[in-house]
Copies of this chain bind each other. A is one copy, B any other.
Amino acid sequence: MAHKHGHGRERIQFANTEDKQEFTKYPTKAGRRSLSRSISQSSTDSYSSAASYTDSSDDETSPRDKAQVNTHGSSDFCVKNIKQAEFGRREIEIAEQDMSALISLRKRAQGEKPLAGAKIVGCTHITAQTAVLIETLVALGAQCRWTACNIYSTQNEVAAALAETGVPVFAWKGESEDDFWWCIDRCVNTEGWQANMILDDGGDLTHWVYKKYPSVFKKVRGIVEESVTGVHRLYQLSKAGKLCVPAMNVNDSVTKQKFDNLYCCRESILDGLKRTTDIMFGGKQVVVCGYGEVGKGCCTALKALGAIVCITEIDPICALQACMDGFRVVKLSEVIRQMDVVITCTGNKNVVTREQLDRMKNGCIVCNMGHSNTEIDVASLRSPELTWERVRSQVDHIIWPDGKRVVLLAEGRLLNLSCSTVPTFVLSITATTQALALIELFNAPEGRYKQDVYLLPKKMDEYVASLHLPNFDAHLTELSDEQAKYMGLNKNGPFKPNYYRY
């Protein structure tokens, strides 16, 4: 989910300044450095049942200091507690029920084992959903070693279940920064096994290999990267002429984008607001800043539930779309006094300024659905004349001297990650896209991909979609030969030109 990353780690050592720059040109977020965080991280922040199963009162011994062996006698892993494997297995099985696309992919491709010979090193959130992905890759013939892309997001019991079945996993919830890199290193640097594929989420694994084991790239057939941050890093490498293998940007595939932004936010804006504030939507005056995919999703949902929504935009085309969709296009300062809710979805910074916060009416709710934590100038609220009162988890009342309260959600961080959950179905779209990208890169004939960053071929994008249609009992129509000829199309797709806007 492109716009939804950020977490500040502070003491990462880079070998030299030049490299550091290379990786940090992309706008950084609050907190000194944000590494890549992907969507599933939300499970740690919020209400998902799965997260709650993770026993946080475990003993305090570091997993690095424990000797653990799975029931098959292997100790090539490092997780919090291998004994949680059974519990994690159930979590994986529940996730499988909503990820039938991957299960279906297993079945369709299993005969040919399209990943036979693939040695994949992966660095992602480690959740029940990624476990379904990993076990799909294994079922398709791959060998996998895995680590976590985030120090907080690992579901320990899932890691245990993976380790139990023989996947070398190095991850636990609450790693230190040092642990984080140690885990990555253990993943990559193992005797008698060398990765030939990389699946990354945020670019840290890729970075580590570049720094420590550049020779690994001689055998690597490709990198699959799913985060905005990681993709940005890859483009930087490519621009600098340093990308030495093909890379696939799965973040920007059509299907994934629509689900991460339009469809997902259409639901999570309601969920996030309701869980935190119990607000009644009917009749509320809402301004949504930004009418991109995220803004469109928010506006659709809120309007449907009886809110009176207006928008702000900088782009005249999006503004005209908003008009045609029935939303007044205003400047924020024109309406700020009347609004009950202010939502940012711009990807920009300081969209809501202190001056505007000063003019809001009592009880106005302010939240961010857009990008990191930059959109609302939260820093400006940390001033002595204002009182902060935490009234609930993720909900602060900022109190002005005259008693006016502004309700700030998630301290300006992403509402949908902090106060809502991501449906497994959305994660299934992403995981399936990743699996297909790995298959494509691993099996591509010599020369199809150069040392550059590619989008997933449209035909594969269509395939991801088609694998998810059975969930809706949706029946595709097939072109007849005559029709395919008339349209100048292959009957199996791709069905649209690359520039098609959907």
Interfacial residues, chain A to chain B (CB-CB below 8 A): 27, 47-49, 52, 94, 97-98, 254-255, 257-258, 263-264, 266-267, 270-271, 274-275, 278-283, 285, 293, 300-301, 303-308, 312-332, 334, 338, 347-351, 362-363, 374, 391-392, 395, 405, 421-426, 461-463, 465-466, 468-469, 471-480, 482-483, 486-487, 493, 495-496, 498-499, 501-502
Contact = CB atoms under 8 A, between A and B. Distances in A.
B283 A324 contact: yes
B306 A501 contact: no
Nearest to A333: B477
B315 A495 contact: yes
B476 A313 contact: yes
A362 B301 CA distance: 28
B301 A304 contact: yes
A501 B254 contact: yes
B305 A301 contact: yes
A295 B347 CA distance: 31
B267 A318 contact: no
Contacts of A487: 347-348
Contacts of A325: 282, 306
A349 B274 contact: no
A43 to B, nearest CB: 9
Nearest to A320: B465
Residue in A258, A270, A320, A395 with the greatest tally of chain B CB atoms within 10 Å: A320
Dominant SS at the A interface?
A: mixed
A470 B105 CA distance: 43
Given A266-B282, A323-B469, 17 more contacts: A258-B321, A263-B280, A271-B274, A278-B424, A282-B323, A282-B326, A306-B323, A308-B326, A312-B477, A314-B478, A314-B479, A316-B466, A318-B495, A322-B474, A351-B483, A374-B486, A499-B499
A47 B98 CA distance: 26
A377 to B, nearest CB: 11
Given A316-B465, A317-B462, A275 B47 contact: yes
Which one of A281, A327, A475, A486 has the highest number of Cβ atoms from chain B below 10 Å of its Cβ? A475
B495 A320 contact: no
A320 to B, nearest CB: 4
Contacts of A363: 97-98
Nearest to A91: B391
Contacts of A305: 266-267, 270, 301, 304, 326
